[in-house]
Amino acid sequence: MGTLKAIELCNFKSYRDTHRVDLGDSSFSAIIGPNGSGKSNMMDAISFVLGVRSSQLRSTQLKDLIYRGRIMRGEEVSSTQSQEATSAYVLVEYEKSNGDLLKLKRTITPSGTSEYRINNKVTSSGEYNATMKKENILVKARNFLVFQGDVEQIASQSPQDLSKLIEITSGSIDLKPEYDRLKEELDVQTERSNAAWQRRRTYNAEKKHYVELKDRYDAYTAKAAERDEAVVKQQLWRLWQAQKIEDEARDQIEGGDAAIQNAEGAVQEAAQEVENVAAKYASDKKRLLKQERSAKKRADVILEHKQQLVPVAERIAVVSGNISRHEARYGTVEADLLRHQDEVKQTRGSLKMVQDASSEFERDLSSKQKESGGVIRTDEDAAEYSTLKNEVHKRSLAEQAEIETVKRKLRPVLDHKRALEQAQEDSELKVKEFKSEFGVYQTQLKEAEEVLKTHQSALRTQSESLARVVDEQTTRRRVELELGDKLGVVANRLIELNAVKRQTERERRLKETVANLKHVFSAQKVHGLVYDLCKPKEKRHDLAVETILGKDIDSIVVDSFKTAQDCIAYLKEQQGGLASFIPLDTIKAMPVNSSLRSRLRGAVLAIDAISFSSQYERAFQYVCGSAIVCDDLKEAKRLGWSLNVKAVTTDGSVIHKAGLMTGGTTQKGHHGGKRASKWDESEVTKLQAEKDALVLELQTVGRQKFDPERQDTLQREVDKVRQEVSAAQKHVASLKDRLKDINSQLKYYSEEAAKSKKQIASTASDLEKLETQKATIQQRLDEVWYTVFSSYCTRVGVTVEDVFAYEQTHGSLSAGAERKRLAFSQQIATLESQLKFGSKRVDECKGRLAKIRQSIDDDKAAVDGWEADEAQLREDIGILEEKARAEAKQVQKLTAAVQNASTESNAAKEHLSRAQGVVDNLRRKLAQSETELETAATQRYEVLRECKIEGIELPLVSGDLESVPLVEGDDSQMDIDIEVDFSSLPQGIRRLADDSTLVSKIKALQAELERINPNLKAVSRLEQVEAEGASIEAESKREREALQELQAQFREVRDARCDKFNAAFEHISGVIDATYKELTRSDAFPLGGSATLTVEDEHEPYLEGIKYHAMPPMKRFREMELLSGGEKTMAALALLFSIHSFHPSPFFVLDEIDAALDNANVQRVANYIRKHAGSKCQFIVISLKRGLYTHGECLVGIYRDQEVNSSKILTMDLRSYPDT
């Protein structure tokens, strides 16, 4: 992080001319000064130069920030004083983390605008803010300062304000305008799409209606043609019978014995035909049975193949899930590999640095040895050096004894410290190893749990499917019984109400209109029809209430006049017909004369005779007025004329205010049943709909079938998956046990490392004392050396330091160099051990990656194999189904052939029977043939005459019906030369004994024609409706696509906003408890308090508030507003510091945050700031509390110089003064 080095102000607010504040490398600077001296102006200056708007600096415009002096009474105005400052600037010097110096300057020009400079180069405000943003100085979020009073404001803010604060901090508020715009557009587009859908729905309903009418017309036309065809066939059958009788009679008359011979020949032919047809029938039947058996076998094979698909698909799904988990694990292990490789690289670099330092030390030591060679040049110098050294030894016996004593004490302490450091290093190394192993096993546990979840999910799914299949038959039977009971109840109720009647077209359309209006404008605006919103309290008042409601009974109640206008416009647009509306907000209703209640005997106010919701009271006052309901006409006349009110009897008779009387009606309907009221009709509609739904549901349930083979397959799959779940559970349990063991080892070595660290700190304190003592003694010993060797050094031309260097390299002092060599060796050995361990972990990661890749490849190969099996099964099923369809067609063809053969066999047998009968009866009938011939001719004539009269067109080979006389005459007139064409008459009809079947069919067709009432204009109207449909469909599709596009855009912005907000919230909520504990911790309460943040809306938290709860140490939970002032402030500071940690700026400026705190809390805040001030964050605090500013590293004093009427600045580096 960077550091704020200096602040320079020129003519800014109370600072006249140029002032400079040098903060140096202080990480904790305190600004102090009396009230009114200009401390807050210094805060404003920092805020100003860092881009904060003037409105937040206690000013309305930038010119208000320029220094304005004042002239004291009695003073003369100098030339400099008369010239007020016209511009001002603030400059900060900021040192980046890389050492570069960044100068940010903001100037107020004489025109009242801002000028921005970076390193004395003019730039735009956007680039200025972007430069600060790179250093994590966010102007909009104000993450670098806290104004005076912000702490109190944060402590008392609402959950919504806190949510907005986190929105600003996270940056999600930048997406709010786009979010609101898309939300509004989405609502508008939803309404438009709904309107287009409603128009499309209305069009479809209208089209369906006319399609039904057209179908009815087509059915009528087809039935009429069928009726005419049946009539023709009947007449042809009669003519055929007459013709046949004539032919037979002529044959008998003309042929005689020849006819008998011919008949006998016919018998033989018929017998042969019967034999041939029977053989053909047997052959076709045999082929049919064989083909049906083959089709059954193929169906079984297809079912078996389909059952084989189920386990294959499940295996593919399970192994595909394994592949996804292996790939995720591969990414995790690959990230670990990269991290371990970086650690190995760093360890190699550190090892090389230590080795280079060791080599450099050896070179320096060798150089010093060479340089110290000039201390003793001759033997005389050596002798004198020895004498002087002995002198030093004599004079410093006490010091040498003392220093030896200290060294003896120091040696075990150093050894103990090294042993502790080695123990700590070993423990930390173990901790790293176990953490790495813990991560591996934790990943394996997560994967095993995912596999277990997959198997458990599959087990639940299969078990549920099995349970559904097992219970299906029972459930279906139970549902059938329940539906049958319900249907019986509904049918009985319909019979009781005598409700077998249709709604009129107008009533149906009116109800559809109300439903459409509710869908378009919502049920909160369109309430419904008047008679649907009320109900008579007593059944006998139904007719009276219906009479009083009168023309308003079908009116629609809406919430406002505007809604009524919108509904009318919609009906005009949709051509929805006429409707009247009662708006609740503007309807003028005469108040009910409540005094009438006490004067009525045998009568009741109409508004009291009905029940309705209180929100519709105004509407029913308007509809009912002061009308009354009477039990009989006599009472109605008396009360109506005496009270001058409208009176209605229970049978519907009305006594008007003007004295006129309107007759009523009876409670009997047209068919003698009870007359149904409007409310009964409403109930009938519901019951009829319920009946239709029950019938449809019964039919649906009846079509369901039970599949026992499916149950067996599912049972086998459940058993298999249950075994897989058991195996996965055992694997998860073993991994958890291993993790538990690793965790206990990790805890043990972590505690050992902490214990060693604590002992090292204690040993370091003892070591420091001994080193200090040793340095003091060594200083006295050095003074003895200076005293004894001063003359020798002058003579030889060296310094006493050279003597020390000589002793260090050649004498007993060289032991220090050996100790340093030993330290280098130990450090090199430690780094080499770390390098070996890191390389081992890299190799392990590579091996794990290879195993995972092998698992992925194996699983993919397995999936490919199973997918090939599945494809082969599906291909086989397709081939089998194609063959099954061909066999089904063959079965149908053979079935038809068998049926035809059966029909032909029956016909042949009947023909044989007739032929035999002819032989037996031919002679007996020969005498009657002439009579029969005459009767047949008469019958033929009657049929032809009837066809002529009725206009029935018969198929004729020759002749014309016009030649048939209408009056029966002699035989010559009846011998008509007309030949009828019987080719269109089927053989089956020809063989009918009588025409009763044909007559019944004609009567049935005629009855159906009478029931069908076709609309002749339906076809043309349907064509018009279909022509309008294309535009309606296009509009609906266009609006739906626009809605989908807006929904996608809205979801994208909403998700981005949620992500930003949640990132900030999760960080702040994760650190706020630790921050609050640190601020409230004391010797009496070492654990401190607790603080939590909770969101009111989990899905879109920025739409609702965020609740902040803080519980001071040893106090029960209370709402924030019930905390004391100091407790609120500490909670607010914890929140501020937590928010600041999300996007921490390099410095944090705080203005009198300790104003509401007592000394103990001030001390805690100071401790917190001192702990966290450093290279990561620089604190600049404005305070009047001694307990806070005395802990700073740099003190900035601000005072008011009344002589020049300006704030001035003094600075002091407190690090030069020890703590007292």
When comparing pLDDT for 818 and 964, which is higher?
A: 964
The predicted structure's pLDDT at residue 746:
82
How many structural domains is the chain composed of? 2
Residues 6+ apart with CB under 8 A from 31: 39, 42, 1180, 1181, 1182, 1183, 1189, 1196, 1197, 1198
| Nearest partner of 67 among 103, 96, 38, judged by Cα | 38
SS3 content of the chain, % helix, strand, coil (to 5): 70, 10, 20
Contacts of 61 (CB under 8 A, 6+ apart): 54, 112
Report d(CA 1077, CA 1080) in Å as an integer. Answer: 5
Report the alpha-carbon distance of residue 1140 to residue 1178 in Å, rounded: 12
Helix segments in 955-1017, DSSP class H: 971-974, 987-990, 996-1011
Residue 326 CB: number of other CB atoms within 10 A? 21
CB burial class (10 A; 0-12, 13-18, 19+) of residue 378? exposed
* pLDDT score at 583: 93
Task: Tokens for 154, please give them.
Answer: 């944060």
Asked whether residue 1000 is domain-assigned, the answer is no
Structural contact between residues 199 and 1035, judged by C-beta atoms closer than 8 angstroms: yes
Evaluate if residue 1054 carries a pLDDT over 50: yes
Average pLDDT over residues 162-178: 85
Among candidate residues 198, 4, 20, the one with its CA nearest the CA of residue 1209 = 20
| Intra-chain end-to-end CA distance of the chain, in Å | 31
Buried-exposed string 806-845: b where 16+ CB fall within 10 A, e elsewhere: bbbbeeeeeeebeeeeeebeebbebbeebbebbbebbebb
**Sign of the CA dihedral running 356, 357, 359, 364:** positive
Chain centroid, CA 938 distance in Å: 89
pLDDT at 107: 93
Query: Any idea what the CATH number is for the domain that residue 1166 is in?
Result: 3.40.50.300
Q: Quick check: is 884 in a domain? A: no
Return the percentage of the chain with pLDDT > 90, whole number.
6
H or E element, residue 649: strand 647-649
Q: Which of 270, 271, 247, 277 is nearest to 259 (CA)?
A: 247
Show which of 675, 699, 726 is a domain's final residue: 675
Whether 115 is in a domain gets the answer yes
Domain assignment of residue 78, yes or no: yes
Mean pLDDT of 1131-1147: 84
- Nearest by Cα to 1205 from 108, 79, 72: 72
Among 643, 675, 707, give the residue marking a domain's end: 675
Confirm whether 341 is domain-assigned: no
Cβ within 8 Å of residue 625, ≥6 positions away? 589, 590, 592, 606, 646
pLDDT at position 515 over 90? no
Within 8 A by CB and 6+ apart from 663, the residues are: 653
8 Cβ contact partners less than 8 Å away, ≥ 6 residues apart: 18, 19, 20, 21, 90, 91, 92, 93
SS3 16: strand
What is the pTM (predicted TM-score) of this model? 0.39
Q: How far apart are CA 1173 and CA 25, in angstroms?
A: 11
In a domain, 1184, yes or no: yes
Q: Is residue 1074 one of the residues assigned to a domain?
A: no
DSSP state of 1012: -
* pLDDT higher than 50, residue 941: yes
Provide the pLDDT for residue 669.
47
Overall size of the chain counted in residues: 1220
Q: Which two three-digit tokens encode residue 909? A: 């047998």
Q: Identify whether the C-beta of residue 1041 lies closer than 8 Å to the C-beta of residue 197.
A: no
Strands (DSSP E) along 144-207, which ranges? Answer: 145-146
Of the listed ranges 35-39, 136-140, 493-497, 514-518, the one predicted with least confidence:
493-497
pLDDT band at 80 (very low <50, low <70, confident <90, very high): very low
Confidence of residue 817 (pLDDT cuts 50, 70, 90): low
Q: Which residues contact 211 (CB under 8 A, 6 or more apart)?
A: 1022
* Digit-coded pLDDT (tens) for 230-247: 888 877 888 888 878 778
Q: Is 17 left (phi over 0), alpha (psi -120 to 50) or beta?
A: left
Asked if 93 contacts 5 with a C-beta cutoff of 8 angstroms, the reply is yes
Q: Is the pLDDT of residue 1044 over 80?
A: yes
Q: At what angle do helices 1125-1142 and 1159-1172 cross, to 10 degrees?
A: 10
Is there a contact between 1197 and 1210 (Cβ–Cβ < 8 Å)?
yes
Which residue has 């008011």 as its token pair?
A: 1200
For 973, other C-beta atoms within 10 Å of its C-beta total 12
Q: What is each CA distance from 740 to 430, 445, 736, in whole angstroms?
A: 16, 12, 6
Residue 122: beta bridge partners? 117
Would you say residue 511 lies in a domain?
A: yes
- Alpha-carbon distance 593 to 624, whole Å? 12
Long-range contacts of 470-478 (CB under 8 A, 24+ apart): 470/711, 472/704, 472/706, 473/706, 476/701, 476/704, 476/706
Residue 317, helix vs strand vs coil: helix
Query: How many C-beta atoms lie closer than 10 Å to residue 119's C-beta?
Result: 12
Phi, psi at 579, each rounded to 5°: -160, 145
Q: What is the maximum alpha-carbon separation in the chain?
A: 191
The predicted-structure confidence for 1161-1192, as pLDDT tens digits, reads as follows 888 888 888 888 887 788 999 988 888 888 88
Q: Beta strand pairing status for 101-108 and 88-95? A: antiparallel
Q: Tell me the average pLDDT of the chain.
A: 79
694 contacts 494 by C-beta, under 8 angstroms: no
Of 622, 641, 675, at which residue does a domain stop?
Answer: 675
Angle at the Cα of 921 from the Cα atoms of 915 and 926, rounded to 5 degrees:
115
DSSP string, 1159-1200: HHHHHHHHHHHHHH-SSS-EEEEE---HHHHTT-SEEEEEEE
In this model, does residue 813 exceed pLDDT 50?
A: no
Helix (H, G, I), strand (E, B) or coil at 180: helix
Tokens 């006319």, located at residue: 210
Express each pLDDT in 562-603 by its tens digit: 999 989 988 887 777 788 999 988 888 877 777 777 777 778
**Which of 689, 691, 683 shows the shortest CA–CA distance to 498?**
683
Residue 685 CA to residue 504 CA, distance in Å, equals: 12
Q: Which is more confident, 131 or 295?
A: 131
pLDDT of residue 681: 56
Q: Above 70 in pLDDT, residue 83?
A: no
**Single-letter residue type at 311:** P
**Nearest C-alpha neighbor of 647 from the set 639, 552, 547, 550:** 639
The pLDDT, as a whole number, for residue 503 is: 47
**C-alpha–C-alpha distance, residues 1105 and 160, integer Å:** 4
List the domain range (segments joined by +) for residue 643: 502-675
**C-beta separation of 9 from 18 below 8 A:** yes
List the single range of 212-216, 647-651, 837-841 with lowest mean pLDDT.
212-216
Task: Find the CATH number of the domain harbouring 540.
Answer: 3.30.70.1620
Q: What is the pLDDT of residue 117?
A: 93
